[in-house]
Structure formats: structure tokens, C-alpha cells
Amino acid sequence: MTIAGFHGEISLTDIALPLADTSDMIQLHQVFREAFGAAVPLVGSVAAGDVERAEIVGTFYDNVLEFLHAHHDTEDELVWPKLIARSPDQAATVQRVAGQHAGVLAALQLAQSRLVGWRADPQIDSGAQLAVALATLGVELCAHLDEEEQVILPIAAMHMTGPEWGELPSYGMQRFGGDKIWLVLGLIQEQLSAAEIAEMESHMPPPVLEFWTGVGKPQFQEFVTELRA
């Protein structure tokens, strides 16, 4: 295991850094599995012409789709290149799984396009098309996530350091294009134990923690209660 670095390559075994614990990625993936798994009933809960309800469901999926964009951009920038460089015997496998992002992106963009029209004018036909697009994206994405968990995470756990893996959350949040960062934080925390939530919040910068506990968390709880009613 090596790191491309100064004056050649440095072996991970030669530096005093822990290897990555990649188990948190499975919890993050569960956010997407649940969101897309709920697409048909959530979109179907909107009656024709009910713009108010469509906005609630629509903004939820807009932010989930933006979060998926940010998640895949983060992997493209911070994960795949390192694994390809450091595990040449697994490079072909890594490239193949990384290449699945292109298919997911096409399905994601179709869902985003249908979402825009439906939010503006929610009708039964456009709602059905949106639900199919979101569900189809979910199927394609879940196949990718399953293989990523089974094949890629073990490779990453051997070839990335803990600090490198720890860069992923902040990098992804900086690239998040949605308007409800508190929604993403709340959806992630729903997958965590109380101890894991405490650990997550202990690493938040003080202004972020203050926002989350004082404003974000109450907004999240109010929003998902209405969404899931």
C-alpha cells in the first residue's frame, strides 16, 4: 500500500496514521435507499393541482438529488484516484465501479428534469412519470451502492488513511447544491445511534453545531413530520 508523495511513493505502513474505517459509508447509502424507496408513495400523496404538497415533496427530492450529486463528486475527486493509484491489482475493478456513476448520473438528470415540471404544475400524469424516474434511479443506484459496499469499501479500508477518509463529509457538504443542508444532516443522523450522533456533533465547527442544534434540527423535525404525514 503506497501513497504517491514527495520524492516517489510512501508506504502506508511507514507512517503513523490509522487506516480508514469505511463503515459510515453504509449508513450514508441508507439515506438514498430509503429516500428513493419512498418515492412512489410520497409523490403519489400529492393530489392533482396541490402545489403546496408538491412543494414539500418536491423540495425533499430536490435536496436528495443534489446530495447524491455531491456524494458522487466527492468520490470522483477523493476516492477513486487514490484507490486506482494505490491498488494497481484492483484498478480495473475500481474503474468499473466508478464508471457506474455515468449511468446513475443520466438517471439522476432525468429525475431532476421531471421534478422541475411537476413541482410547477403537479398533475397525475407528470407525477407518475416523476415517480417512475425516481424509482428507476433508485434501482440503478442501489445496484451500484451494493457493489460499492461489497467490493470498494474493503479496498478503501486498506488503501486510505483515517484522515483522508475524514475529509469526505466536509468536501461533500461544500459541493452540496441544495437549499436545505439541515435536511441532509437530519437524514444522516436518522441512520446513527445516539453515540454516533454525539461523535458526529463533536466534530462540527462551533458555528455549524450552534446552527444545527438551535435552528437546523427543529426545522428538520418539523419538515419530515409534515412530509411523512
Q: Per residue in 131-162, pLDDT tens?
A: 999 999 999 999 999 999 999 999 999 999 99
Q: What share of the chain is helix, strand, coil (3-state, %, to 5)?
A: 80, 5, 15
Indicate yes or no: pTM above 0.85: yes
Same domain, 52 and 145: yes
- Residue spans of beta strands (DSSP E) within the chain: 2-5, 8-11
Which residue is listed with cell 443522523? 189
Same domain, 165 and 74: yes
150 lies in some domain: yes
First to last CA, the chain: 50
Residues 103, 185 share a domain: no
Any domain includes 87: yes
Question: Rounded to whole angstroms, how far apart are CA atoms 32 and 145?
Answer: 9
The predicted pLDDT at position 2 comes to 39
The verdict on residue 132 lying in a domain is: yes
Q: How high is the pLDDT of residue 17?
A: 77
**pLDDT the model gives residue 157:** 96
Whether 148 and 189 map to the same domain: the answer is no
- Model confidence pLDDT, tens digit, residues 169-204: 999 999 999 999 999 999 999 999 999 999 999 989
**Would residue 4 count as lying in a domain?**
no
Q: Are 28 and 84 within one domain?
A: yes
Among left, alpha and beta (phi > 0; psi -120 to 50; other), residue 102 is: alpha
Same domain, 157 and 54: yes
Is the same domain home to 187 and 97? no
Shared-domain flag, residues 102 and 126? yes
Residues 229 and 227: their CA atoms lie apart, in Å, by: 6
Determine the structural domain holding residue 66 and report its residue range: 22-178
Are residue 110 and residue 203 in the same domain, yes or no? no
| Backbone angles phi and psi of 47, in degrees to 5 | -75, 155
For the chain, 229 residues long, give each residue's pLDDT as a single digit of tens.
434 433 334 445 444 579 999 999 999 999 999 999 999 999 999 999 999 999 999 999 999 999 999 999 999 999 999 999 999 999 999 999 999 999 999 999 999 999 999 999 999 999 999 999 999 999 999 999 999 999 999 999 999 999 999 999 999 999 999 999 999 999 999 999 999 999 999 989 999 999 999 999 999 999 999 999 9
Provide the number of structural domains found in the chain. 2
Measured on CA atoms in the order 65, 66, 67, 70, is the torsion positive or negative? positive
Tally Cβ neighbours within 10 Å of residue 227: 16
In this structure, are 72 and 115 located in the same domain?
yes
Residue 16 has what pLDDT?
A: 57
**Do 132 and 204 fall within a single domain?**
no
Q: For position 104, which CATH number holds?
A: 1.20.120.520
Which residue bears the cell 450522533? Answer: 197
Angle at 176 between CA 138 and CA 153, to 5 degrees: 55
